[in-house]
């Protein structure tokens, strides 16, 4: 796992020039924005889009992020690959997103990032359980059941600190093995790896959509998300 080397501005990554939704930078690989979450959600998301607010106090890029509304018991946004987000995530790419739990431990909430999602009972889930400091990787089996690939508690997340959630969905052309799915959770500030798991699976290899689901202690322990992109 490697962090994208971006120049710093006031302690946070500065925004390089953007052309047609693609960041142009000579310091690392080309970065394609799915949603910058700069205080609002991209219009390509559907479902519970009103359950989020702007967070100008906690962000890693752009001056703002979005945070779950404390009036919500759950929050869910989604978009199949036929939707209208600026970009999607398919095999052969690396996805990164930044997630900040307000509470880790008792009373904390939970967050599931579905990728390869094209509707009910499809895709894979990278799940962060802040209430018990746990990371899980799950495959939907297509029939309402699921297979758990990894479940690790005590990974070392910290209340109020961003983590980088990375999914490297490999096609075998840039190292690794075709259909490897590598999920890594790192502390954003230190880049220390807290959790990593590799699974080889091709069940949903042709899918590219997303579902972001927040549940558990959402009303009392909001979660901030920022800067979802691929390389």
Could you state, in order of their start, the residue ranges of all structural domains in the chain?
33-230
Helix, strand, coil percentages in the chain from 3-state DSSP, rounded to 5:
0, 45, 55
pLDDT at 175: 82
Q: List the structure tokens of 10.
A: 């006031």
In which region does residue 47 sit, left (phi positive, over 0), alpha (psi from -120 to 50) or beta (all else)? left
Q: What is the pLDDT along the chain (231 residues), one digit of tens a residue?
A: 333 433 333 334 444 444 434 444 445 678 999 999 999 999 999 999 999 999 999 999 999 999 999 888 999 999 999 999 999 999 999 999 999 999 999 999 999 999 999 999 999 999 999 999 999 999 999 999 999 999 999 999 999 999 999 999 999 998 889 999 999 999 999 999 999 999 999 999 999 999 999 999 899 999 999 999 999
- What is the reported pTM? 0.87
- Burial class of residue 199, CB neighbours in 10 A (0-12, 13-18, 19+): middle
User: CATH: 3.40.50.720, 1.20.1260.10, 2.40.30.10, 2.60.120.560. Which one for 33-230?
Assistant: 2.60.120.560
Distance CA(204)–CA(36), nearest Å, equals 26
Q: How many residues does the chain have?
A: 231
């Amino acid at each position: 796992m490697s962090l994208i080397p971006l120049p710093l501005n006031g302690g946070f990554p500065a925004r390089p020039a953007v052309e047609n939704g693609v960041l142009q930078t000579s310091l690392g690989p080309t970065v394609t924005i799915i949603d910058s979450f700069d205080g609002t959600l991209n219009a390509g998301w559907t479902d519970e889009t009103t359950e989020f607010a702007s967070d100008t106090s906690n962000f890693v890029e752009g001056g703002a992020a979005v945070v779950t509304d404390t009036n919500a018991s759950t929050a869910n946004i989604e978009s199949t690959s036929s939707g209208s987000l600026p970009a999607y995530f398919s095999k052969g790419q690396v996805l990164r997103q930044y997630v900040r739990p307000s509470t880790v431990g008792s009373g904390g909430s939970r967050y599931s990032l579905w990728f390869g999602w094209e509707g009910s009972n499809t895709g894979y889930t990278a799940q962060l359980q802040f209430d018990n400091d746990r990371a899980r990787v799950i495959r939907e089996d297509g029939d309402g059941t699921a297979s758990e690939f990894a479940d690790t508690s005590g990974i070392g997340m910290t209340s109020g600190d961003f983590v980088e959630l990375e999914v490297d969905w490999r096609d075998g052309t840039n190292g690794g093995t075709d259909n490897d799915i590598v999920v890594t959770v790192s502390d954003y500030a230190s880049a220390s790896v807290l959790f990593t798991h590799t699974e080889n699976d091709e069940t949903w290899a042709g899918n590219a959509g997303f579902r972001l689901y927040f549940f558990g202690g959402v009303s009392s322990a909001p979660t901030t998300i920022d800067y979802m992109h691929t390389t």
